[in-house]
A and B are shown apart, each in its own frame.
Chain A
């Protein structure tokens, strides 16, 4: 099966700074990589995703990059705001009909 590793497990940044979260995957057949944001006590919600035929995708302050050769993908949040504080999960999906999640990054944005 797939193995997704996520780093760091915790991240603190000053408001306005950038935050970067990195994930690696093991199965070269994986081709869909979503990122989810989960606020305390709430359900995970998709914030951005990328497919293996694309190297980068942006949505306002959020971007995701994918390096298929190195089998890693990263989430970039610019101009962070206190409401960005949450746990972020990366995931990978291969041809086996399954999603594999990273262990999460707890992001704290300090006002």
Chain B
């Protein structure tokens, strides 16, 4: 099993550009989530999904969209990038809620 994979590993964007961060898991996990990690602020939940077709907002959802058309994939879309979105983004999955979360390797995003 590859576990949780994320692409790209690193991306530079200009303010106003849009892009999609990809996340996939091959463990048939129902619960998937996106976090951003900023220095001194820990991990903050952006959006999450409890199953295909179901998504909900987390703590910091503004400026991001998600969809969950399949169990395996959970892409995160930045609609119009802003410098405040410079961060490291982690995708995670778990079999069910309140179970061990497995994190992807992360995507480092720089918005100029």
Q: Are B59 and A31 in contact (CB under 8 A)?
A: no
Q: Are B42 and A43 in contact (CB under 8 A)?
A: no
| Interchain CA distance A104-B37 in the complex, whole Å | 11
Inside 8 A of A49's CB, which chain B residues have their CB?
A: 100
Contact with B along A70-111 (1 / 0, CB 8 A): 000000000000000000010101000111111110000000
A-B pairs with beta carbons under 8 A, tally: 50
Q: Are B45 and A93 in contact (CB under 8 A)?
A: no
Q: Are A89 and B103 in contact (CB under 8 A)?
A: no
Inside 8 A of A104's CB, which chain B residues have their CB?
A: 40, 42
Interface residues of B (CB under 8 A from A): 33, 35, 40-45, 48, 50, 56, 58-59, 90, 97-98, 100-106
Interface majority SS on A: helix, strand, loop or mixed? Answer: strand
Q: Are B43 and A93 in contact (CB under 8 A)?
A: no
Q: Are A44 and B104 in contact (CB under 8 A)?
A: no
Q: Are A97 and B48 in contact (CB under 8 A)?
A: yes
Size category, A interface: 20 to 34
Closest residue on chain B to residue A1 by CB atoms? B59
Q: Are A32 and B103 in contact (CB under 8 A)?
A: no
Q: A32-B98, A43-B90, A89-B43 are in contact. Are A100 and B59 (CB under 8 A)?
A: yes
What distance in Å separates the Cβ of A31 from its nearest Cβ neighbour in chain B? 7
Interface residues of A (CB under 8 A from B): 1, 6, 9, 31-32, 34, 42-46, 49, 51, 89, 91, 93, 97-104
Inside 8 A of A6's CB, which chain B residues have their CB?
A: 42
Inside 8 A of B59's CB, which chain A residues have their CB?
A: 1, 98, 100
What distance in Å separates the Cβ of B107 from its nearest Cβ neighbour in chain A? 11
Q: Are B43 and A101 in contact (CB under 8 A)?
A: yes
